[in-house]
Amino acid sequence: MDRSPSSVSISRNHSSSALENGDANHKGNTHFMRKIPAGAETSNILVGEVDFLDKTLSAFIRLSQAGIMGDLTEVPVPTRFIFVLLGPMGGISGFHEIGRAMATLMSDEVFHDVAYKAKNRNHLLAGIDEFLDAVTVLPPGEWDPAIRIEPPAAIPSQEVRKRPKEEKPKEDFDEEADEQKLREESGLSRTGRLFGGLINDVKRKAPFYFSDFKDALALQCVASFIFLYFACLSPIITFGGLLSEATGKNMAAMESLVSGFVCGIGYGFFSGQPLTILGSTGPVLVFETIVYEFCKKVDWSYMSFRFWIGTWTAVILIILVALDASACVCYITRFTEENFATLIAFIFIYKAIENVLSIGKKYPLNTIPSETLGYDCWCKPPNISLPSSYNNMNWTTLDKTACENYNGTMIGDGCNAPHYVPNVFLMSIILFMGTFLLSVELKDFKNALFFPSKVRQVVSDFAVIIAIFSMSTLDHFVGIPTPKLEVPAEFKPTLEGRGWIISPFQRNPLWSAIVACLPALLGTILIFMDQQITA
């Protein structure tokens, strides 16, 4: 096979017919021509660099009819194959080596037979793979290019390479047994004994238990500590605010911090998965909202009922651990995982938009500034006989909450008058969109062209924290009274008048402890799915 130079200049005045018919005056290397057998065809390999390409562009062309292309080849032999490689400036040495490799491929008897008969790209790739399997490679450090390698005395036959490879007989194996072995190694198989899975987890964890704490003393872990602190703290406080609205401040930011502290310490010391979710998630938030609305409807104490739900949930989870229920995780498909992850994402998105819109309802925009608003509103006593102490009360000075507690009615033109606060809703939208856009852009900062890779990675890891801190700083300096997430300054329950110890019943009937097993079963399913799928 003849190989052309790596770069060829063709005059623009040459037409395509001139290339096909050849130059009549071009005789080529007549001495070399005598050694080429009759009917031979050539392959032209052209490589070069251009200034209008950003990426490498290559093409392998097989002509349906071979033709002479003027002085493109050293000898007037018809061209059958053309390989063109063009790339951006500065890479000509690499392009030249690719051209040399392609020329070596085309000089192989088996590969150029493949090139003649190939019908698609995969056939060519199969031919290249076969060539790589059969080729002999000399390492550059073990051979001096100045030393000439003598040609073989006899060219070995290539018929063996042309024969289809015999398929090796497949070893008999039981696919189910192989899967069972993998499940046992990963702890996803039933042991057949009570708490067998838990015992195996302890055995797997024991050899690395002390080293996990010892390795954490390295200086490189400091950045991870800071990141994990904020990564755990941010969702706990965020969900604390959501729980505060959903449960009437029975469970809020302080309660979420305490639960995160207890779970974090407990998991850190005793678990086999210390990076499991610590805190509430979207489905749990929905569950708590439903339970609270139910308790409010039937006039039960939410925290007392929630105590029994938690107790039943703990009992059911212990039973699941005893029966190695975690082995069922191997039957959960990717479809289920994606559905659950999508549900959590939609809950996050929905609650975020709902909270912003609720600010618009509480602090609406004043679209009619010229409108005169009246704020006359007072409490009217109920039309029933009241104790004498109630009759001596000045009902007009009571606020809405006190009036409702005494079964009074708020009347007046100003009772439903909107409370306009300039720019609160608009500023909330700016903070909302600014936090989202800034966190998304900073998360993608690791792919930017600025700063060293370590700096980009740190900025990307702390993207959400930086976004929240930046928008909070902006809100502080602007001075608009936007709604804030209230976190108690001292260690006490969020709801006034309630202690940390909850009475199991309070005003709830005794049989509510039995009824709590039904929502506890649903809560267990949510917790199991959270820990086994999304964790």
DSSP track, 337-367 = HHHHHHHHHHHHHHHHHHHHHHHHHHS---S
Per the CB < 8 A criterion, the answer to whether 76 and 26 are in contact is yes
- Compute mean pLDDT per 10 residues along the chain, 535 residues long, and list them: 39 40 55 80 91 89 87 85 91 89 87 87 87 80 73 72 62 63 71 84 84 79 74 77 86 86 81 63 85 92 92 93 83 82 83 87 76 69 66 69 73 68 87 92 87 86 85 91 77 82 86 93 85 69
What is the predicted pLDDT for the residue at 165?
64
Closest CA to 279 of 267, 290, 270: 267
Closest CA to 436 of 467, 404, 460, 410: 467
Q: How far apart are CA 523 and CA 515, in angstroms?
A: 14
What is the predicted pLDDT for the residue at 166?
62
Rg (CA), the chain: 39
What is the predicted pLDDT for the residue at 13?
38
What the chain holds in terms of domains, given with CATH numbers, is: 36-148+155-161 (3.40.930.10), 175-207 (no CATH), 208-358+492-534 (no CATH), 378-411 (no CATH)
What is the predicted pLDDT for the residue at 351?
81
pTM of the model: 0.52
Residues whose CB falls within 8 Å of the CB of residue 490, separated by 6 or more in sequence, listed in order:
none
Residue 359 Cα distances to 1, 238, 471, angstroms: 78, 16, 17
